[in-house]
Amino acid sequence: MGSWATADRIPDLIPVNQSLEERLGLVGGGGGLDFDWAWSQALVQSWESLLLILSTFWCILLARVVTHKWRLHGSPNLCFAVEFVLVILPCILLVTVAVDYSYHIGLLMFVATLWFLRWSKALERARTRSQFDLGGSRPMAFSVLRALTHLITAICILAIDFGSFYRPYRKSRQFGAKLMDTGIGLFVFTMAMVSKRTRHLSHLRRSVLYSALPLILLGLARTVAILMLSYGQDAHEYGEHLNAFFILGLTKFLGALVSMLAGKDVHLLPMGFGLLIIHQFGLSGLGISDYVMDEDVERTNLFNANREGLVSLPGFVALYLLSIYVNRWMVATSLLSYSELVRKLRRLLYVVLILWSLFVMSAYAIGISRVTCNFGYVIWVLAIGSTTLWASFGAIDFVLNSVMPWETNHLEEQEMGLLTENTAVKGRERSIVPFTINQALNQNGLTFFLVANVLTGGVNIFLKPEDRSSFESVLILLVYMFIATKMAHELLKRGIRIA
């Protein structure tokens, strides 16, 4: 939920840390940090971010194929080991020492995908299926996106403290569309994927008690811990005292409250866009964006000190409402025929194209700002989330399950815990299925992330990451991710669900 290190603290001493826009000469003169509002840079940054996300997603698909071919589903530990090597190791390398080969690897993945489609005759097999079971109200595509968000963010919050980390992936100070800018937005998006529109006061009470309040308390605990340990926190992210846990908790509470005004799920669409437009008018028309980003505004009171987090809340609430609408539209029908699934994928593709078109226009007209969660940022997160969902439904439900079918294991129970309104534990009734790490992170995602944050603090205190070589940084990241993911995996094996 943000780095223990401040943004851009490590100087750019490594040639590999030149971004694509720097190589193409798109960066304006003066060598400023992240304070330019250059739409061409935002487009390139967004492409680099999407490439990393889709590359990691492709590795998950590869792990699914390999574990199926080797029949490892009866051996959870071996399945975990294979997935760790095929998914987490490449992701660590692609944000550090192997970043120069990202485009070569992406091209190789594309060619391998075309070869697999031809060799497996997946499209022909899909046509012969009588129906497609997407997995109830929690399709596998949703859980894959949640796992992707957890994995990439967990890797980045520690990797950013090493000199080998690809500098252009760091969070933007004001405007930008970098990889780490996606973190908080995708967490809101995936939180909405497992949420529903609030219908009664009892639903609101459960949302507050089981989702919003625990996150706010975690945010308070993190702030207190940082103050006690005298850790530096970049005030340009959420403010001096707020952090991502606070933002998620407040977004959940306010989103649940506002959604009560919607009589139907479809009403969330105009409500979300209406709130987003009003928010953007305040940012641009009333000068609130300039106020938030003005370095000369002293943090003399509580609001000024935390203006980044507080001002961004309406944007995150709008993102939450729109994401719930996407969720409800996608799961409106779970059992589909071939023609119905093709129609749904086609419509989702249209949505993806519209969102990316709006992103380009927003990048040019108003910029992309995570700090204020402006219109462009919300559209960008929706575009990335929808693109990944489209790829997941197409690759997993349409292609892989046609070639390598496995029993659909509905995922509703995996999401129960502090991030939803139900804490029932039913893990022992479930078997471990393909995407073992994915299943573990969906069952105990918040616990995984808390462990990752604690380990990140330990590495910063005892191992001095800024002094480590590239090899040492990769090794430390591997051990760190092994401990965090293995903990979640062991909880999964024992049927223990914490949060």
Please give the DSSP secondary-structure letter assigned to residue 164.
Answer: T
* Count: domains in the chain: 1
32 pLDDT above the threshold of 80: no
Element (H, E) at 335: strand 335-336
Confidence at residue 408, expressed as pLDDT on a 0 to 100 scale: 53
Give residue 214's domain range.
Answer: 35-493
Residue 20 has φ and ψ, to the nearest 5°, of -65, -40
**Could you tell me which residue, 429 or 223, shows the higher pLDDT?**
223
Mean pLDDT of 207-219: 93
Q: How would you classify residue 464: left for phi > 0, otherwise alpha for psi between -120 and 50, otherwise beta?
A: left
- Rounded distance between C-alpha atoms, residue 24 and residue 21, angstroms: 5
Q: How confident is the model at residue 1 (pLDDT cuts 50, 70, 90)?
A: very low
**Could you tell me which residue, 234 or 354, shows the higher pLDDT?**
354
| Residue 30 forms part of a structural domain | no
Q: In percent, how much of the chain has pLDDT > 90?
A: 75
pLDDT digits (tens, 9 = 90+) for 34-72: 445 788 999 999 999 999 999 999 999 999 999 999 988
**Could you tell me which residue, 309 or 499, shows the higher pLDDT?**
309
Confidence at residue 345, expressed as pLDDT on a 0 to 100 scale: 96
| Residue 16 forms part of a structural domain | no
324 pLDDT above the threshold of 60: yes
What's this model's pTM, rounded to 2 decimal places? 0.90
Q: Which two tokens stand for residue 307?
A: 């203006």
For residue 43, which of 197, 151, 139, 178 has the smallest C-alpha distance? 178
| Residue 419 forms part of a structural domain | yes
4 pLDDT above the threshold of 70: no
- Rounded distance between C-alpha atoms, residue 450 and residue 455, angstroms: 9
Confidence at residue 22, expressed as pLDDT on a 0 to 100 scale: 52
**Could you tell me which residue, 17 or 213, shows the higher pLDDT?**
213
Answer yes or no: are the C-beta atoms of 96 and 165 closer than 8 Å. Answer: yes
For residue 116, which of 52, 165, 172, 68 has the smallest C-alpha distance? 68
180 pLDDT above the threshold of 80: yes
| Residue 344 forms part of a structural domain | yes
Confidence at residue 198, expressed as pLDDT on a 0 to 100 scale: 92
Q: How many CA atoms lie within 13 A of 198 on its CB side?
A: 23
Mean pLDDT of 243-267: 95
| Residue 250 forms part of a structural domain | yes
pLDDT digits (tens, 9 = 90+) for 121-145: 999 999 999 899 887 778 889 999 9
> Burial code of 299-310, b = ≥16 C-beta within 10 A, e = fewer?
eeeeeebbbbbb
Q: Is 132 helix (H, G, I), strand (E, B) or coil?
A: strand
Q: How confident is the model at residue 414 (pLDDT cuts 50, 70, 90)?
A: very low
369 pLDDT above the threshold of 80: yes
| Residue 450 forms part of a structural domain | yes
420 pLDDT above the threshold of 80: no
Place of tokens 């940022």: 377
| Residue 272 forms part of a structural domain | yes
Confidence at residue 409, expressed as pLDDT on a 0 to 100 scale: 52
Contacts of 364 (CB under 8 A, 6+ apart): 39
DSSP H helical segments within 70-177, as ranges?
76-83, 89-94, 102-120, 122-127, 140-159
pLDDT digits (tens, 9 = 90+) for 430-472: 455 668 999 999 999 999 999 999 999 999 989 999 999 999 9
| Residue 343 forms part of a structural domain | yes
pLDDT digits (tens, 9 = 90+) for 279-305: 999 999 999 999 999 988 999 999 999
Neighbours of 238 (CB within 10 A): 25
Q: How confident is the model at residue 15 (pLDDT cuts 50, 70, 90)?
A: very low
389 pLDDT above the threshold of 90: yes
Mean pLDDT of 93-105: 97
Lowest mean pLDDT among 124-138, 203-217, 301-315, 367-381: 124-138
